Amino acid sequence: GQQVMQIPQYQHVQEGEDFTTYCNSSTTLSNIQWYKQRPGGHPVFLIQLVKSGEVKKQKRLTFQFGEAKKNSSLHITATQTTDVGTYFCAGYFGSGNTPLVFGKGTRLSVIA
Amino acid sequence: GAVVSQHPSRVICKSGTSVKIECRSLDFQATTMFWYRQFPKQSLMLMATSNEGSKATYEQGVEKDKFLINHASLTLSTLTVTSAHPEDSSFYICSASGIGFTGELFFGEGSRLTVL
């Protein structure tokens, strides 16, 4: 079946360091979304990327969608303890009622 | 913003009993709702997709007779775990997409089920 691969699985950083998580698909995605799940919480929608090569920023977070629409990344500049959580990418393949396919997530720990 | 409420947040039950979990969209009409299962520190495992007024579509390996899903209205979907066993203990999360949105999902707070 269609899969979205996400790496790394875990990342431990010192506060102030940068962090990046990557997602990759073998087939073209219609769009890709990113979610954040805090420890003990539920996933919260962050952003959706639709266009080839699209780049969007939310304060210290930068989201990119690859030119071929097969990969995406989330980069956090100067991490803070509030960034702790698991970041999931999720992609739509095709259109219609196909469900969103989630990556396995990257769990970020920030050491103060 | 769009809010999805899930209830109960925690439930403990005896083996063999059934548990119902409700998922409500509070301020939008949810045309499609999704039910996930999440094990500790792991990813979201899609169990089923439900559209209002029709039968749920279950993912491969998910027993439809054990995990009964009903989506009777545009604001409510329920998941019933029938004859629960300890191996059914997990974190169950619903999400919804709706009219007027561009495909993003809004998640409920999740329900932690413990079967003794």
pLDDT by 10s per residue, chain A, length 112 = 788 999 999 999 999 999 999 999 999 999 999 999 999 999 999 999 999 999 999 999 999 999 999 999 999 999 999 999 999 999 998 765 678 899 999 999 999 9
Least confident of A65-79, B14-28, B32-46: B32-46
Q: Give dist(CA B45, CA B53) in Å, integer.
A: 24
The three-state secondary structure class of B88 is helix
Closest CA to B65 of B86, B46, B48: B48
Please report the pLDDT score of residue A95 as a whole number: 64
> In A, which residues are within 8 Å of B51 by CB distance?
97
The alpha carbon of residue B109 is apart from the nearest alpha carbon of chain A, in Å, by 5
> In A, which residues are within 8 Å of B104 by CB distance?
33, 45, 48
- B113 within 8 A of B20, measured Cβ to Cβ: no
Residue position matching structure tokens 């709702």: B33
Render pLDDT for A53-84 as a digit per residue (tens, 0 to 9): 999 999 999 999 999 999 999 999 999 999 99
